[in-house]
């Protein structure tokens, strides 16, 4: 089955700096890659997603890039703010509608 | 918030007891999912259902059971066979087919007495 690895597990950045989280996947048939943000004690919320026919997608301060050849995708957050502090999960979809999640990255934005 | 309701928010299980976690959605979604989240870890798929009266095992189905008798409901039973049930359980739903965005409920935190 699909295997998704996510790095780093924790990330501390100064407010205003950029944050980058990287994920690799194993199944070349995966075609959908969402990113979720989970604040402490709350439900995961979709923040951005990308499909395999697109190399990059941007939404305000958030962008995702996909390299199908290398089987990795990344989340970029620019001009980080304290409210960006949360746990971020990447995921990949292969067969059916099953999502396989990465282990998560705890992001701390220091004011 | 809203659309997917999980209850209860907190649940305690005694040794040898089966407990059932509720998940209800009013989004008219065909597909529903159950995930387990352990501290500091990602989400692992327990069971999923693409359509009423049908469901499939996920990656960690042992010790769990589900039913999908109604489109809006997908209850999860944690059986006594699950020896380490303490975790945060999340239910999700999606439209289904190629519409794959999953929306999550607020979760149930299960602890063992």
pLDDT digits (tens, 9 = 90+) for B35-45: 999 988 889 99
Give pLDDT, residue A83: 95
B-chain residue closest to A1, CA distance: B59
Residues A102-111 have pLDDT tens digits of 999 999 999 9
Give pLDDT, residue B39: 85
Q: How confident is the model at residue B99 (pLDDT cuts 50, 70, 90)?
A: low
A104 interaction partners in chain B (CB closer than 8 Å)? 40-42
Say if strands B108-112 and B10-13 run parallel, antiparallel, or are unpaired: parallel
Which of B5, B42, B18 shows the shortest CA–CA distance to A91? B42
What is residue A82's three-state secondary structure?
Answer: helix
Name the residue facing A103 among B42, B90, B102 (closest C-beta).
B42
Six-digit token pair at B109? 């935190």
Six-digit token pair at B20? 């059932």
Residues B33-91 have pLDDT tens digits of 999 999 888 899 999 999 999 999 999 999 999 999 999 999 999 999 998 999 999 99
Q: How much is the mean pLDDT over chain A?
A: 94
Please say whether the beta carbons of A90 and A7 come within 8 A: no
Name the residue facing B102 among A4, A99, A102 (closest C-beta).
A99
**Taking 60 as the threshold, does the pLDDT of residue B2 lie above it?**
no
Chain A and chain B share a number of CB contacts under 8 A equal to 52
**Taking 90 as the threshold, does the pLDDT of residue A86 lie above it?**
yes
A-chain residue closest to B41, CA distance: A103
Give pLDDT, residue B96: 81
**Taking 60 as the threshold, does the pLDDT of residue B1 lie above it?**
no
Q: How far is it, in rounded angstroms, from Cα B39 to Cα A35?
A: 19
Q: Does A76 touch chain B (CB under 8 A)?
A: no
Task: Flag if A43 and B104 touch (Cβ within 8 Å).
Answer: yes
Q: How confident is the model at residue B113 (pLDDT cuts 50, 70, 90)?
A: confident
A1 interaction partners in chain B (CB closer than 8 Å)? 59
Task: Flag if B94 and A97 touch (Cβ within 8 Å).
Answer: yes
């Amino acid at each position: 089955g699909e295997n998704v690895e996510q790095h780093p597990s924790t990330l501390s950045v100064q407010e205003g700096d950029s944050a980058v989280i990287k994920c690799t996947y194993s199944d070349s048939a995966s075609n959908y890659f969402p990113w979720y943000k989970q604040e402490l004690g709350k439900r995961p919320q979709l923040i951005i997603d990308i499909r395999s026919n697109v190399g990059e997608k941007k939404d305000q301060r958030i962008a995702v890039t996909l390299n199908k050849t290398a089987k990795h995708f990344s989340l970029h957050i620019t001009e980080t703010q304290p409210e960006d502090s949360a746990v971020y999960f990447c995921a990949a979809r292969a067969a059916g509608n099953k999502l396989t999640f990465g282990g998560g990255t705890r992001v701390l934005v220091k004011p | 918030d809203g659309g997917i309701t999980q209850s209860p928010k907190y649940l305690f299980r005694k040794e040898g007891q089966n407990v059932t976690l509720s998940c209800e959605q009013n989004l008219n979604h065909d597909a529903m999912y159950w995930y387990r989240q352990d501290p500091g870890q990602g989400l692992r798929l327990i069971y999923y259902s693409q359509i009423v009266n049908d469901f499939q095992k996920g990656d960690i189905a042992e010790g769990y059971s589900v039913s999908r008798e109604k489109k809006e409901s997908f209850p999860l039973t944690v059986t006594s066979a699950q020896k380490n049930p303490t975790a945060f359980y999340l239910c999700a739903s999606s439209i289904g087919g190629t519409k794959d965005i999953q929306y999550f409920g607020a979760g149930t935190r299960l602890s063992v007495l």
